[in-house]
Amino acid sequence: MNYTFGGHIKNQKVLSESTSGGAFSAIVDAWCDKNYVIFGAVSDGLNVYHDHIFDKKYLDKFRKSKYIQSNIGNAYTYVKKFLQDGKKVLFSGTPCQIAGLKSFLLNCDQANLLTVEVICEGVPTPLYLKSYNEYITAKYHSSVKSIDYRYKDFKSYFNHLIGRWDFQVMQLSLENNRKFKTDRWFNPFWSIWINHLMSRPSCYHCPYTTPERLADISLGDLWGVHLYCPELYNHNKGASLIICNSIKGKEAFLSTKDLFVGHELNYETAIRYQGPLRKRITPNSDRALFIQDLKSMPYIALCKKWSTPPSLKLLWQKYIWGNRQKILFWKLTKGFYHIH
């Protein structure tokens, strides 16, 4: 069972508040009808923890990518209790968190449980964000209130150029209400993270990087959209990849048909652009040195030493001849259209 789908939620407000195409919100809205509980990751400053809600109108707290693993706390215990009480439970998390839950519930009836995983490429050490917060606090006399790792804004003309899905702008909000935006390709966090310098050692040996999934549904960005399904590009507002790994997952997703637009995709083609579903991240041989510097060096000195500036080739690909330019060219020359 690898029913694969690409698309986005119809609700534009929810789409703007979602990292990708709003698939998680659509699934929750369709599946959680009555007597349900929803579990997900919540950001509290730079801390992330698992929580649950009994009303999907509060789902916004679970939206948006966190890029740091949540503290699972007592979530598994609560899931078991709610299942035993006869409630429908939707649990979202990383693949290893889903595996932990499944193991915890080994002797528990899981008929009313729906598991939704994010396609994960490893989680960073919280030490980096701690160092970052110390630097920000010293410079701006205010600590970090929140980080939107994948900022979107569809409102102004300027944000029409940068506040979109594939530009991956990070927005930093401080306790004193100041806000800063940085482009991914000029952001030390992304450079260091994508080179796997601050990934947890366990992520190098992750057993959940194969097509065999434990979760009912796998969700991620629809990477490669401009190459094999440009009609789903959705004006760069965000598109989701949905892989249903069980009959229960497929039935849950198909119930979103009135909320979600898109079409079925070829599974093998889709996972070609999803490294975490095919292979583990490559260990960086310099990680130990980086962690040593992280513990001893000032933040700016650390970033200057370990972050890599974007190459001219990369800047050309992202700003001059990037996805949106390719989509426009194909739309003009081959008659491709966007699905609304």
Q: Where are the domains of the chain?
A: 3-121+208-277, 126-199+285-334
Query: What is the pLDDT, as a whole number, of residue 323?
Result: 58
How many Cβ atoms from other residues are within 10 Å of residue 232's Cβ?
24
23 neighbors 244 (Cβ within 8 angstroms):
no
Helix (H), strand (E) at residue 83: helix 75-84
Q: How far apart are the first and last CA of the chain?
A: 27
pLDDT in tens, 222-236: 998 888 888 888 777
Give pLDDT < 70 ranges for the chain.
Answer: 154-167, 318-340
Query: What is the pLDDT, as a whole number, of residue 225?
Result: 87
50 neighbors 108 (Cβ within 8 angstroms):
no
Distance of CA 126 to the CA centre of its chain: 17
pTM: 0.89
- Which CATH fold topology does 3-121+208-277 show? Aspartate Aminotransferase; domain 2 (3.40.640)
19 neighbors 221 (Cβ within 8 angstroms):
yes
Tell the residue number behind the tokens 């998390």, with chain if given.
93
